[in-house]
Amino acid sequence: MPATFRSLAASDNDSGPGKGVEPAIACDARLLRRGLFENGYRELVMTGRHALAVLELPPIHKDPFDRMLLGQSIVEGINLVTADRMLARYSAPLRLV
């Protein structure tokens, strides 16, 4: 299961009340993934080009996973939808929610 689904949903054993990781939304990640696929969404594989794009980013944000997502959005020219205001400081295709 991609890490984005893991961070969104509460169906995994590491998230939920008292587990240290609070989910962004309370849902079953498997159902969310299936619903997204049924509506035309696709998973985007992390590539070497994405990783190399991270090397060009200024050190504004320290979270390596978030920086990888940002590198992916830059290379692919797609918006990264996030609530992370630190990521919004980058000049990159991003939508702050």
Q: Is the pLDDT of residue 17 over 90?
A: no
What's the first-to-final CA gap in the chain, in angstroms? Answer: 23
Mean pLDDT to the nearest integer, 14-22: 54
pTM: 0.69
Q: Which amino acid is at 83?
A: A
Instruction: Please list, in sequence order, all residues whose beta carbon lies within 8 angstroms of the beta carbon of residue 71, skipping any fewer than 6 positions away.
Output: 50, 51, 52, 53, 54, 57
d(C-alpha 88, C-alpha 17), whole Å: 28
pLDDT in tens, 31-89: 888 998 999 988 889 999 999 999 999 999 889 989 999 999 999 999 988 888 999 99
